[in-house]
Chains A and B, each alone.
Chain A
Amino acid sequence: MDTQYYIKSYCKIKEAHVTFNNNIVFEDDAKDLKSFLKNIYKHLALKYAKFFKMDNLSKLAFLGAELLLQDDEKDTDRDIAIVLSNRASSLETDRKHQEAIQDKEKYYPSPAIFVYTLPNIAVGEISIRHQLKSENAFFVFDTFNAEFLCNYATVLLEKNKAESVLCGWVDVDGENYDGFMYLVSRKGKIKHTIKELTNLYQN
């Protein structure tokens, strides 16, 4: 693995702030996560009705991808792999589905909720939006795993499985959320290393 890869751009959706390459894009004092995500959507002037059907995890990942892929053309066949990760998997929606089946007197499981009881649905939503028919995977770790993500993205690029890789940590657990996404490519200024990723995630 000799080729140097770069972090072309990165964004964070965290603590009521949205940043892109360390510049504040949006801040908000919304009372809950759902409103905050809706306000970001409005701020970015997006027109994508499917957004409102998504659960909070998919919304968070979707908005991160919007920030990172905004300059790219959506109609060309781009080879951008997607590798996302988090701690709580789809637990937030799992709890909703469990609530719907807990009481046998009020049993109402819904396919619109059940489909979001899989974390990789967030990857599917981004793939549909940007028409990325490319390599993709979703991982769960106890904490942000810079070492694994860095190595995995490098192998994908090294083996020509993708031209660039959209990576990230997108976690939603109750009202707690943490979004950090970045684009790994052959060009850029920040070196794609475990140290840089750890640094960007923490600061």
Chain B
Amino acid sequence: MKQIFITYNNIISSLGFDTISNIENVSNGVSGIKKIDDDNLLQQPFYSSLIDTVKLDVAFQNIGDITAYTRLEKMMILSLKDVISQSNIPLDAKTGFIISTTKGNVDTLDENSSFPKERAYLSELGKQIQQFLSIQNEAVIVSNACVSGVMAVSISKRMIESKLYEHVLIVSGDVVSEFILSGFQSFQALSDAPCKPFSKNRTGITIGEAAASVLVTSNENYLSKDAVQILGDASHNDANHISGPSRTGEGLVRSMKSAFKEANIETQQIDYVSLHGTATNYNDEMEAIALNRMHLEKVPVNSLKGYYGHTLGASGLLETIVGMQSLYNNCLYPSYGFDELGVSQSINIIEKTKKKELTVFLKTASGFGGSNTAVIFKKNKNK
């Protein structure tokens, strides 16, 4: 089986418009979460990590009409364009295209939106991005709640394994909207303070927005210096509840087992785990249980939600890119917002930035619908 890599990448978020500036902020302990008071989004103040609208439009007006594209399209186009420019990848039939998003342009359903309601169809979002960037292939759109971003990595690998494609471009993204905030609030899942994953005093989710893009390839001529090999991947369902995780972490454990089996490595070889860590009671507890079932409780772990909030369909890919930078820089980044362990089983949360030789990391995510994904990555030593 040929080796498949994630190579060139980009993150557009409250912490910057490229991967380097994002990592600079993360390594300096800067969080993008702020208190927001905006009636158009929620009737009371809330915490979120938002992209600066002026900065977004200034960046976009160099390449296109800022009024012709939605906020999400502008983020996604800028992000993916950066990856295409960095990699010089040909946008022909051998380059597949994936979009991962939880809600796409759902904000265009609002009566006050200046865009037609048809824009809410995800295939319409796909067409806008495909046409703007002149990508030959139609987008494969992955919409699997909060695991979408990292599941897209698994799917890209399988698309290449099916021999249909040599490369796959992935762009993932979601925006903060009244639609999303009102829904999470109806679940009483929104935190009234910046989220504190795995902490004793955690009070729920902080929603954020971001776009993240990568090139996945089997061609070693397209490897970036921070490239990682995708060793194994799986996405198993809990078959337990549609809006809450399995208490035993069953789907996540099965996902990890399947990924380890395919990667053909032992759990002791994992140097770092990038967890989902939404800071809800049930999610964080479930992840601690699943890690212990896999004997990964001593491995350094973090959640990046304290920096970005939960960026929904972007989160899994964004956090994979940060994980790649951890490997490249041999540096473990702290789990922002963590104070005292608040889960029933012991896990090794990273509290301070730490330099350490890192080779293999595991990324996990879990979400509504009982979905879970686990992917294992290895540093490319031939760089």
> Which A residues form the contact surface with B (CB < 8 A)?
1, 82, 87-89, 91, 94-95, 97-98, 100-102, 104, 107, 109-111, 114-115, 117-121, 123-125, 127-128, 130-142, 148, 151-152, 154-156, 158-159, 161
Q: Provide the residues of chain A in CB contact with B240, threshold 8 Å.
A: 128
**Looking at the complex, which one of A120, A133, A140, A155 makes contact with B239 (CB distance below 8 Å)?**
A133
Q: Provide the residues of chain A in CB contact with B106, threshold 8 Å.
A: 94, 98, 117
Closest B residue to A87 using CB positions: B123
Is B178 touching A115 in the complex (CB atoms < 8 A)? no
A115 to B262 Cα, complex, angstroms: 33
Given known A101-B178, A110-B186, A132-B239, contact A137–B142 (CB-CB < 8 A): yes
One of B156-164, B274-282, B339-347 contacting the partner:
B156-164
Given known A94-B106, A133-B238, contact A118–B250 (CB-CB < 8 A): no
A18 to B293 Cα, complex, angstroms: 44
Q: Provide the residues of chain B in CB contact with A154, threshold 8 Å.
A: 162
Given known A118-B102, A140-B122, A155-B162, contact A97–B179 (CB-CB < 8 A): yes
Given known A128-B242, A148-B140, contact A94–B120 (CB-CB < 8 A): yes
A127 to B120 Cα, complex, angstroms: 27
Given known A128-B239, A136-B236, A152-B162, contact A119–B143 (CB-CB < 8 A): yes
Task: Write out, one digit per residue, whether chain B residues 363-376 have a CB within 8 A of any chain A CB (1) or not (0).
Answer: 00000111100000
Is B143 touching A127 in the complex (CB atoms < 8 A)? no
Task: Write out, one digit per residue, whether chain B residues 88-116 have a CB within 8 A of any chain A CB (1) or not (0).
Answer: 00000000000000111010011100000
A101 to B138 Cα, complex, angstroms: 33
A118 to B254 Cα, complex, angstroms: 23
Give, as a whole number of angstroms, the nearest-CB distance from A129 to chain B.
Answer: 8
Is A133 touching B138 in the complex (CB atoms < 8 A)? no
Q: Provide the residues of chain A in CB contact with B155, threshold 8 Å.
A: 137, 152
Closest B residue to A108 using CB positions: B186
A95 to B313 Cα, complex, angstroms: 20
Instruction: Report if B32 contacts A (CB, 8 A).
Output: no
Q: Which of B142, B143, B184: most chain A CB closer than 10 A?
A: B143
Which residues of B, 279-322, contact A by the 8 Å Cβ criterion? none
Closest A residue to B145 using CB positions: A118
Q: Provide the residues of chain B in CB contact with A131, threshold 8 Å.
A: 239
